[in-house]
Structure 1
Amino acid sequence: MSRARHSERPDRHRSVRSFLDDTDEALRMGARPGARVWPTGFDLLDTTFGGGLRSGELVLLAGTEGAGKTTFAMQLMRNAVVAGRHAVVFSFELTAASLIQRLLGLEAATAADRLDDPMNPAADVRQFRAVLEAEDPDRRGLGSAMRALPYGVDALMTIEAYSDRLHIVEGNRMTTIGQIASTVAAVADETGEPPIVLVDYLQKIPVDGIEGTSDETTRVTFVTETLKELAMELECPVVAISAADRESLGAGHRMRTRDLRGSSALAYEADIVLILQTKENIVAREHLTYDLNAAKVFRRWVVISVEKNRFGGGQVELEVQKDFEHGRYVPKARVVAERLIEERVFTS
């Protein structure tokens, strides 16, 4: 099966002279000659990546159950569109309604952070879901429904401000890799700029002519290589959530890049590999032995391991605090101070 080209990027074969001339012209015009950068919105992560995610990069995001992979990835997309960029989300796991309810919770919490009023907490995702799923006998509309929730109007107004820049596709068996490429190219043509792309998740993308679990390695190789090609040709970052082998989710194992399910192409093609794990499961025993409260505290934090960073430092361990009630992580990251182990300390 040959891989189709998804764009008509000019000057595919270029001399170094033409590259230098184009770079010189861009600099003289005050333009950026290098890659475009999409900040993640997490300060230390952006420092690690030299400013953020770059055009042409394939970013793999993996993690254990409950670590919040979709939450983290959607926060990256949200941060991009708040900054004025465009984003396309292909969700094979959650409906658009569910993702929007999470965004409402995130924006309500962000509005509450600005006022810093602990006596007036923001509505959480469950409250937004309950209001949006309830019947409205008076038919007053969305704005009225949001007024019933703390910071609901603030959340709605923020989302409305970037709603035209955030595109959500509910994936199904017809959402092939070719359809993904066509959709991203169409958004780029319509908006005049490449969007950041999220695929949730990679192993669920159907491939024509490759069916069944016995062909998973072939399918994942094809999808991974094509997503990387898409990122390079459309000059956008592609973030793909990757499933892990079931064995890596069991007791006594800390997840690594080698645990991603389906193909060695995942590690080879990716420019960045991030693995999310709850801190409680991977912190060294000495941090738990003498403090009975430590496990409860560590449970609220997720460690982001930068397993691979092609254009910067790898093996970086950062941590962010969960706020899943509001569909987000607290955006201030920090370096992990405690020693982490290779295997889990205990099992639940």
Structure 2
Amino acid sequence: MRSTRTTTALAAAAVAVTLLAGCSGGGSDPTDDGTLTYEDSPLSVYWEKVGGSQDASDAEAQQARSEEIVAACMQDEGFEYTPQDASVMTESIEDEGDMPAWDSLEFAEQYGYGATTYSEMPMNQGGGEEWVDPNADYLATMSEGEQQAFYEALYGKQTMSEEPTDDETAVEQEYDWTTAGCQGKAQHEVYEEGQIYDDPEFKDLMEGMSELYTDVEKDERTIAAYREWAECMAEDGYDFANPQEAQNSIYEAVNEIPYDEEDGSQDPAALAELRDEEIATATADRTCQTSTGSARAALEAQFAVEQDFIDAHKDELDAMVEKAAQADKT
């Protein structure tokens, strides 16, 4: 259970970095070979300027700062805490080895959508240095009750309802960093607090950017592109309206496989069966996106909507970039 907590906390930091890095790009012109990729997003230029693009050294520095905050916080709580090695914690974000591009046919044929095959990817093969908890020896000197107090200080008190829930009765619990212990405090201070996208001055701008992708989905160009894709998929026996539906079907199926209450694992046989379905679906999906031209057409529609947004809000976007630059100098 505690190893799961640790993994969850580290994954949260990695995801924050990965999502921001995914917004980086090289401008609105097509790439040199004439193809179009997510990196050609017009809005990516603005995300780069407000700190949305990070390299490995930036991620490592942030993680090191986070660990320093955790150590100080744990000391205030009456515990010793040895910071984790930031270079080991962030190396998996960059180390994808010879893995094909995530949006390529080769990736689909080998890994599907990455749902049941995540552990097979190069960065998860354990080729690097094995991680060792620097606090293990310290924890070994504690009683079970002391260890529980240590983890509660580190991650917050874990509560889980014993009441069974279904889709109608389940209540979504919003994450609150103030109840997530020293890790929550560190994550907030390093990855959340003071970020330009949380600035009240740009609240309306950010909301508009969030709604932008709903506009993309409703755009006639996007709908037309995915209509052709859906017809192509139907020829292979699939009934999806768009690629996102196809991908979601696999992740939903993974979530339906029960987890073992003791070790959190899922039935290997069920995962293996779903793996075959995942790769077949993803391969058909990527093949149809390419053969119908829907992948490029959908990106063209997205980028056109983004450019319209930029044209309408250029002054606000420039003000956001300027304020972020001023904050970096302080």
What band does the TM-score fall into relative to the shorter chain? under 0.3
Structure exhibiting the larger radius of gyration computed from Cα positions: 2
More strand by percentage:
1
More helix by percentage:
2
